[in-house]
Structure 1
């Protein structure tokens, strides 16, 4: 019991140290932590006494890290991250999820990409079995919030409240059309050149915001399809395009050679798909991190995806944590977090 209490006490002291370091102000740090300023100062002083070094230089106007504080801050953050990972694993054990990671993948993900993702996760050797389900973004979001899914690969834009994200990856879309179409003779196709053809899209219920963003982008580029047809299966979509009456937007990696069909890039690259791994905020552990890294590597290597500069603060293959600012303990103002449709900004 004593060891357990000492460990919890140390974690709380480290949280205080890191928060003061990030805020450079005891008053703001106390408000962020939901405590009074005197107890916060006492905790920092007790930690300094325990470590035998001064962590902060304090004046009436500012608080600054000492050299010792600068060196110890990364170690403190690492310990807090490992503590959160430990708690996440414990939660999964309590909920019966030990040894199993339930992951969602969108139906439009190419087969070789799925295979590369699975292989990458196996190489991580987390000791956790991966259970993959084919689910639309809307289905994944509902399952994540119901705790029926541990992690997923979602399309942006979508509602992100309560979720943490890995890197946001972008894949440019081109147009799949019948080789008999006039635009098929062009090396690069402007959207406006698609004329009165129909457009084959996934059903809107699967990813409403993405569906609307694609149609809005087409309208801005001067093209409105004569009609929108819905299809999910590759063969069904290709059949509609082969009829010569319709087109579809797909990444180059999904444009396999099919007699009678051609794929062309779009002028100005106005359309894209954006994805990221997503999981409930605060539930990150080694298995979730391995899945996010496997997703990033698979989409980059198999489909030429690039890290979206507006959706993530870093470009590494690891799972950077972009948590909802409304989540408990985030320390920021309570505002919903969304990827804005047709723009590359966080709101």
Structure 2
């Protein structure tokens, strides 16, 4: 069975709610269209439409399957388009990712640097957490990405590890805001806003462990990722958030950013790609991302004072 062609028929009937209009849209006769939909139903073992002599109504099963059918058709078209470009010698496609916490200026710098030097490569850039990137690497749906450490890097090659010191976002009128540096223990009694644990479990645990060692155990942990949402929580919920210097608010903002005394917390990044698949485009993206982080996000090469050890589920700096 030609699954893509049968899915095209399913989507057309679902969108037109009429076999005749769907057949005209697809440039085919109505009987073959009906036969393809019926065969798809047999293959999937679900009824996609309720049919009467006057109307066609999509079933609950059909409604649930329709978004996935559309996605498969879109991905199929993207694959064919990329194959045509490669065949014609025009370009290739690089599927890349950056994590959600990367500032807009850094994203722009990555795109500009890569595109200036790789005009023949189409960059398909996604916003994905470390966990999402690792899953897509495993499924061979991602070519290269910027990940947070610690994480499981089995089967991956890494670019240089960069470190961004983390400070604290807090309300301008908070007692600790008057300090030039804030000890972790001074945050006692405040809730902590962190990204959802599922997006980078080892990093999440590492941050909380380091906070506890520094004398700060949050009264509660709240979850948020979007900059506006996190700032709203800080302003209204008696909470603080950990953020790199490039996330510092403007002077006129109701929030302030302060460095942490002793620089106990940091985000470590490196570009990663599946082992053995580091072609020229992958290395070009790695160079662009590394350069952008160093020039726009105050990232510095990370030189650990102790060796990095791998454990079964994660990579820890001990």
How would you bin the TM-score normalised by the shorter chain?
0.5 to 0.7
2-structure distance, mates of 1:337, 1:122? 35
5+ unaligned residues in a row in structure 1: which ranges?
1-92, 314-324, 326-334
1:143–1:149 CA contact under 8 A, matched in 2? yes
Residues 126, 283 of structure 1: alpha-carbon distance in 2 compared, 3 angstrom cutoff = farther
2-structure distance, mates of 1:303, 1:167? 15
Equivalent position of 1:185 in the other structure: 178
Equivalent position of 1:287 in the other structure: 281
Q: Is 1:340 the equivalent of 2:310?
A: no
Which ranges of 4 or more aligned residues in structure 1 deviate by more than 4 Å? 335-338
Q: Is 1:307 the equivalent of 2:272?
A: no
1-structure distance, mates of 2:211, 2:314? 22
5+ unaligned residues in a row in structure 2: which ranges?
1-85
Residues 338, 224 of structure 1: alpha-carbon distance in 2 compared, 3 angstrom cutoff = closer
Q: Is 1:233 the equivalent of 2:209?
A: no
The SS at the match of 2:316 is: coil
1:178–1:244 CA contact under 8 A, matched in 2? no
Determine which structure has the larger strand proportion and give its number: 2
- 1:23-65 Cα offsets, whole Å, 9 max, x none, are xxxxxxxxxxxxxxxxxxxxxxxxxxxxxxxxxxxxxxxxxxx
- 1:243-278 Cα offsets, whole Å, 9 max, x none, are 250000001101121621111000000000001110
1:167–1:307 CA contact under 8 A, matched in 2? yes
Q: Is 1:245 the equivalent of 2:271?
A: no
TM-score by length of 1: 0.62
- 1:109-128 equivalences in 2 (<5 Å): 109-125=102-118, 127-128=120-121
The SS at the match of 2:315 is: coil
1-structure distance, mates of 2:205, 2:278? 31
- 1:54-80 Cα offsets, whole Å, 9 max, x none, are xxxxxxxxxxxxxxxxxxxxxxxxxxx
- 1:126-150 Cα offsets, whole Å, 9 max, x none, are 6211100111100000001110000
1:252–1:303 CA contact under 8 A, matched in 2? yes
- 1:174-213 equivalences in 2 (<5 Å): 174-213=167-206
The SS at the match of 1:149 is: coil
2:249–2:255 CA contact under 8 A, matched in 1? no
Post-superposition offset of 1:219: 0.3
Post-superposition offset of 1:200: 0.4
1-structure distance, mates of 2:249, 2:238? 20
Residues 216, 262 of structure 1: alpha-carbon distance in 2 compared, 3 angstrom cutoff = same
Equivalent position of 2:217 in the other structure: 224
1-structure distance, mates of 2:171, 2:237? 5
- 1:198-248 Cα offsets, whole Å, 9 max, x none, are 000000000000000000000000110100000011100000111250000
2-structure distance, mates of 1:165, 1:338? 15
Equivalent position of 2:151 in the other structure: 158
TM-score by length of 2: 0.68
- 1:291-314 Cα offsets, whole Å, 9 max, x none, are 000011000000110111139x9x
Instruction: Give the root-mean-square deviation of aligned CA atoms.
Output: 2.4
Equivalent position of 2:292 in the other structure: 298
The SS at the match of 1:161 is: coil
The SS at the match of 2:276 is: coil
Post-superposition offset of 1:123: 2.1
